[in-house]
Structure 1
Amino acid sequence: MARLATPGVYVRENNAFSSSVVEAPSAIPAFIGYTAKAERGHESLLNTPTRIDSFKEFINYFGKGPKVSFSIKAKDEKDYSLKIDAESNFHLYNSLRLFYSNGGGSCYICSVGNYQSGSKLKNLQEGLEVLVAEQEPSLVVCPDAVNLEPKECFELYRDILNHCGRETRDRFAIFDIPNGSEARTYNDKDNINQFREGVGHQNLAYGAAYYPWLNTTVVSGSEISFKNISNVNELVKILTKEAEYRYLGGPQSTSSSSSSSSSSSKTAAKGATASKSSSTSSTPSSTKKVDSRAMMKFNEVKAEIERLKSVSGNGQVLDQNLKAISSTYNAILREIREIANVMPTCGAIAGIYANVDNNIGVHKAPANIGLNSVLSPALNITGAIQEDLNLPINGKAVNAIRSFIGKGVLVWGARTLDGNSQDWKYINVRRTILMIEQSVKSAVENYIFEPNTPQTWMRVRIAIENFLTSMWKRGALMGISPAEAYEVAIGLGDTMTPEDILDGVMRISVFLSVARPAEFIEITFEQRMQEPVDEGAEEGEGEEEGEEGGEEGAAEE
């Protein structure tokens, strides 16, 4: 209040409205993993959580994705096998693609090393530790965890649950199942059982798992070439073998005078795969005479194939030439692309969380939502298979991703890992409470060191009630009236004792009725017998109508 000492007019403004509670962000994930680089100008971003708002910004700071390499091996004259080189298979880059394809926005990136570092438990744990100091992230996602050995992966998962449920108590984790593209075996090596045993028993309400992995479309054909094959010499043998079958009718022996130049390819390991069927089905005699024009064409194709051993630069011209002359080469590239597009789920699921939160609200279960940039689940999940995933005895539910005719690929589960808890079995309930807790906490911090008096208590209670009323109107809280949806208690004799006042403690109790998803909808249909018609009643009604008609006629007369 101004000191009234000089004669004059003094203006004083009073606050008419109480303080408000601002809703805390609920869908800002922190991605932990490996990137091509980690720098902003001359500033290193290694093990530094960095906020980005677009995929372009990610590329500027952290570079592009890894060059995933494959080993190829001939199995017989008509077949080959491809195996992905595990040390080159990093998932953070493509998980970011899925995140933004499915509605993601702002997020944090914590780069723990480059693609030459190799996946190491210690690196990922260090990336998790530096997140403790960040206040904004509300989700924790680690796509590269599945590259670790299962025991190390589960140790990291336990650390993440401890980070979310004990160290920060304001975050939720999204987990992938290691080897999640493989079917269940229901024995000691079963991927789901191993996950449930390895994830532990602490802080389970702060995480959710999804299965199976996804067949996506984020890796395009332009990103795949012979550069993705680590043993090019084997590829040369395979393509040479195909050329021999195509132009010479099969491998030629050194005794053939006209085809001695092709004998060096006799030990090649492959015939076509998709051209597997287009190649000659029968192997001609090695002494068969070859047309000179066919031999000339073969030598031209072979010379082009041999360039694979010495090509420099990006080899784009050679790649296009090989696509034009070899159906086997095209089939190999298609298979490489299919394998490279099999990805863990966490990036897409984080995008679903962000999309639902921003458009509807955190109280909406992130389920029955379609996935973008996804062709199909890596495995088909039926209702019978999902029964154990959703309702296991130990409560550690794993949410299924399923494909439905006419609907596409949907997230078909909304349970946390604490499925036996009536309080925290649903993802949206756990995350709604986390959001409300952080929102109220931030607002009440403004009253620290304020007088611990009824006037302060009233302002605090009104601020919280106004916020909860807005949540109730949006459908986050259950009840036909705010009184049924929530209750805020604060005051001496209610939540505080005289000793609390002397100790400077203000206690607030908030009771909530959070909306839960309709996970099981039961509709009962029952046939009814047709009831007999009461003929006497119908006759009586007819007599009454006749009498009424006679009375009306008399009145008219």
Structure 2
Amino acid sequence: MNLSTIQTPGVYIQELNAFPNSVVGVATAVPAFIGYTPQASYEGKSYTNVPVRISSFSDFITYFCLPSPPTPANSSKQYSPEYYLIQQKSQPAKGDYIMNAGAYYSIVPDPHTIYYLYNSVRIFYENGGGDAYIVSVGTYGPPSRKPMTPGTPVINPNIMLNDLQTGLAALLTTQEPTMYICPEATLLSLENNATLMQNMLNQAAGMQTAVCLFDIIGGNTPDPLLYEQDIDAFRMNTGTKGLSYGIAYYPFLRTSVMQSTDIDYTNLFGGDLSQLEPIINPASAYDPTIAAILANIQNPDSGFTIAQHNSALINASPIYSLIINHVLSDVNILPPSGAMAGVITTTDNEYGPWKAPANTSIIGVTSLTIPLSDSQQGLLNVTVSGKSINVLRVFNGLGILVWGARTLDGNSQDFKYIQVRRTLIFLEQSCKLAAQAYVFQPNTQNTWEAVKSMISSFLTSIWQQGGLQGATPGDAFSVACGLGTTMTAEDLLNGYMIVTVKVSLVHPAEFIVLTFHQQMATPSS
């Protein structure tokens, strides 16, 4: 209230702030998923390449999934990969297969129909996910109606590098996401995957608000002897910039996200029963019950749903049931980034970003595509290049655990651990947003002391929560701002107020060494 403007006699009230400005911690676990969705429109509005904030899987369904028809019709499939059975002359050396009537059949997908984002979002919420952003770069492309060659890498030509890069660029105007995740990046070629990963790291380093969770090509079907070639290719393709903002996990997960009701005969041979029938009902072992079911399926007036036909086939044909189980197992192999985003969210909610998202289990995971030992992990965790890979491990009696907490900048003493990089992002962005209240304030001692007090109070609360190490707040951090300490007279003339913050971040006990000595027996007194 300006007293000089008061002209009328009376009583006036002037409210004064009792408390100074404070720092409010920013959200630390908000992943941004980039990829293809069943649909990308809602209520007539397109959401292609538009970052949409969701808080639950129901929100994801609302914006990005196909509407479900009313009962008793079959629910629409949000993700419907297509698989083929190819007869082989001998037992396949690679890939999934079954044996039927003395013949081997490789089970391979139409690569044009393989996508990961939908199920990655599902397993993210199974593992405690909360707020997230979805950047849909488009809907699923058309199937090719052709199987891939057995044993070759899965590359989906419908997934375009330019689409994913456009979706990534859409996040340049969104500050809230703290993790960039692109599960379908592993469905690109090695060259395109390299370009995308380097762009993600460059954007994360430029914005300084998010880290990138990477999956490794080949992690879905690793060769027990040659898997290190996939690791080497990944390390070569991530470049050298922004490595402290990159986090990689290996191998892929065998999950239970998709259930038996999600896969049926429409997922086999593109729904062509003429190719399925010779396998499940050959002339040499003709079964009239199976024949009748197949005939009913092709009769549009049968009065039965796809689910009912599928259930009948499973009960009538053991080989059909076996095929469905194998396909279900294959479609449930997922890159670990989505699940790890949920694990990180849960860890942040329970402790904070300063707690390593490791030595914890993953919900919805039944097994791994390859089990690794201590010696094998050692080659991935500590390397000459410093590009550490965090391994998911199977431990007897404990289950599947996240057994690593390093960034791709493993040779850096400052940022080789995930929680150090993420905690620093949290502190920097929280203080940055709070300090905006002082932009254009007088660059004087009073303002300097107010900023120092505000940041010191915030860091004290973080220290009390265990986010900074030290016996006292003075050991854990220091905040300096003033003429002659952080600024010169020229800085003041140029409008700079420079605040220097030093923090002592928490590092994990990654290697615990127990020292045992044998003590000689001594006579009792």
TM-score normalized by the length of structure 1:
0.83
1:488–1:87: structure 2 CA closer, same or farther, 3 Å change rule? same
Q: Provide the C-alpha distance between the structure 1 equivalents of 2:136 and 2:233, rounded to a whole number of angstroms.
A: 28
Aligned counterpart in structure 1 of residue 202 of structure 2, from 142, 146, 162: 162
Q: Provide the secondary structure at the position in 2 that maps to 1:109.
A: strand
Partner of 2:121: 96
Residues 227-266 of structure 1: per-residue CA shift (max 9 Å, x gap) = 111253221111122x733x6xxxxxxxxxxxxxxxxxxx
How much has 1:40 moved relative to structure 2? 2.0
Q: Which one-letter code corresponds to 2:450 in the other structure?
A: R
State which structure, 1 or 2, has the greater radius of gyration over its C-alpha atoms. 1
Task: Show the counterpart of 1:72.
Answer: 85
Q: Identify the residue that residue 45 of structure 1 maps to in structure 2.
A: 47
Equivalent residue number for residue 349 of structure 2: 358
Residue 233 of structure 2 is aligned to residue 194 of structure 1: yes
Contact kept, 8 Å, 2:347 with 2:353, in 1: the verdict is yes
CA distance in 2, matches of 1:186, 1:19: 59
Please give the alpha-carbon distance, in whole angstroms, between the structure 1 residues aligned to 2:9 and 2:135: 63
Say yes or no: does 1:507 pair with 2:498.
yes
- Rounded to whole Å, the distance in 2 between the matches of 1:180 and 1:340 is 14
Distance 1:35 1:344 in 2: 16
Instruction: Tell me by how many angstroms 1:42 deviates.
Output: 1.4
- RMSD over aligned CA atoms reads 1.9
User: Residue 358 of structure 2 contacts residue 403 of structure 2 at CA under 8 Å; is this kept in 1?
Assistant: yes
Q: CA deviation at 1:326?
A: 0.7
Counterpart pick for 2:188 among 148, 155, 163 = 148
1:92 and 1:517 map into 2 onto residues whose CA distance is 31
CA deviation after TM superposition for structure 1 residue 6, in Å: 5.3
Q: What amino acid does structure 2 have at the position aligned with 1:43? A: K
Question: Structure 2: how far apart are the matches of 1:232 and 1:8?
Answer: 91
The letter of the residue matching 1:2 is L
* Residues 289 and 316, structure 2, Cα contact 8 Å, conserved in 1: no
- Using the TM superposition, give the Cα deviation of residue 188 of structure 1 relative to its aligned residue in structure 2, in angstroms: 10
In structure 2, the partner of 1:54 is 56
The C-alpha deviation readout for 1:130-187, integer Å capped at 9, x for no partner, is 1101111111000111111111111101110011012x12111100001212335776
Letter in 1 for 2:366: L
How big is each residue's C-alpha offset from its partner over 1:479-530, in whole Å with a ceiling of 9 and x where there is no partner?
0000000000000000011111111110000001000111111111212123
Counterpart CA distance in 1 for 2:173 and 2:512 is 43
Deviations 1:260-279 (A, max 9, x none): xxxxxxxxxxxxxxxxxxxx
> How far has the Cα of 1:317 moved from its partner?
3.2
Kept in 2, the 8 Å contact 1:389–1:399? The answer is: yes
The 5 Å alignment of 1:146-545 reads 146-166=186-206, 168-183=207-222, 190-230=229-269, 231-241=272-282, 244-245=284-285, 298-305=287-294, 315-532=306-523
Which residue does the alignment assign to 1:547?
none
Whole-Å Cα distance in 2 between the matches of residues 299 and 370 of structure 1?
48
Runs of at least 4 residues of structure 1 off by over 4 A?
4-10, 184-189, 306-314
SS of residue paired to 1:480: coil
Match of 2:130 in 1: 105
Higher-helix-fraction structure? 1
Give the unaligned 5+ runs of structure 2: 67-77, 90-100, 143-157
Kindly indicate whether the alpha-carbon contact (under 8 Å) linking 1:73 and 1:234 is maintained by their aligned counterparts in 2. no
Q: How far apart in 2 are the matches of 1:417 and 1:189?
A: 16
Q: Secondary structure at 1:425's aligned position in 2?
A: coil
Tell whether the 8 Å contact from 2:456 to 2:479 is kept in structure 1 after alignment.
yes
Question: SS of 1:124's equivalent?
Answer: helix
TM-superposed CA distance for 1:412, in Å, is 0.5
Distance 2:344 2:227 in 1: 33
Residues 1:189 and 1:440: Cα distance change in structure 2 (over 3 Å): closer
Q: 2:23 aligns to what?
A: 21
Q: How far off its partner does 1:308 sit?
A: 5.7
Q: Pick closer, same or farther for the CA change 1:188–1:342 going to 2, 3 Å.
A: closer
Return the offset for 1:101: 0.4
The structural deviation recorded for 1:314 is 5.3
SS at match of 1:74: strand
SS of 1:81's equivalent?
strand
Is the 2:215–2:248 contact (alpha carbons within 8 Å) kept by the matching residues of 1?
yes
Partners in 2 of 1:33 and 1:311 — Cα distance? 36
- Give the Cα–Cα distance (whole angstroms) in 2 for the partners of residues 85 and 398 of structure 1: 30
Paired amino acid for 2:141: Q
CA contact (8 A) 2:255 2:333 kept: yes
Counterpart contact for 1:24–1:435, Cα < 8 Å:
yes
Query: Structure 1 residue 199: deviation in Å?
Result: 0.9
Structure-2 separation of matches of 1:188 and 1:37: 35
State the Cα deviation string for residues 290-343 of structure 1 (Å, max 9, x = none).
xxxxxxxx4453343455667699533322221121100000000010001111
CA contact (8 A) 2:280 2:320 kept: yes
Higher mean C-alpha deviation, range 60-69 or range 364-373? 60-69
Match of 1:549 in 2: none
1:2 is aligned to 3
For this pair of structures, how many residues does the alignment match?
Answer: 481
CA distance in 1: counterparts of 2:265 and 2:226, whole angstroms: 39
**Separation in structure 1 between the aligned mates of residue 288 and residue 325 of structure 2, nearest angstrom:** 26
- Preserved contact between residue 184 and residue 192 of structure 1 (Cα < 8 Å): no
- Give the deviation of 1:128 after TM superposition: 0.5
1:85 alignment partner in structure 2: 110
Give deviations 1:78-132, integer Å, cap 9, x for gaps.
3322101211011000000110000100100000011127111110010001110
Structure 2 CA distance for aligned equivalents of residues 395 and 50 of structure 1: 35
Letter in 2 for 1:130: A
Asked if structure 2 preserves the Cα contact closer than 8 Å seen for 1:186 and 1:193, the reply is no
Opposite residue 420 of structure 1, the aligned amino acid is N
CA distance in 2, matches of 1:2, 1:89: 71
Question: Which consecutive residues of structure 1, in runs of 5 or more, have no partner in the other structure?
Answer: 248-297, 535-557
Distance (whole Å) between structure 2 residues aligned to residue 447 and residue 508 of structure 1: 12
Residue identity in the other structure for 1:228 = N
Q: Is this contact kept in 2: 1:178–1:191, CA < 8 A?
A: yes
Deviation larger for 400-409 or 99-108: 400-409
The one-letter code of the counterpart of 1:171 is: A
| Separation (CA, whole Å) in 1 of partners of 2:334 and 2:26 | 31
Residue identity over aligned pairs, in percent, reads 40
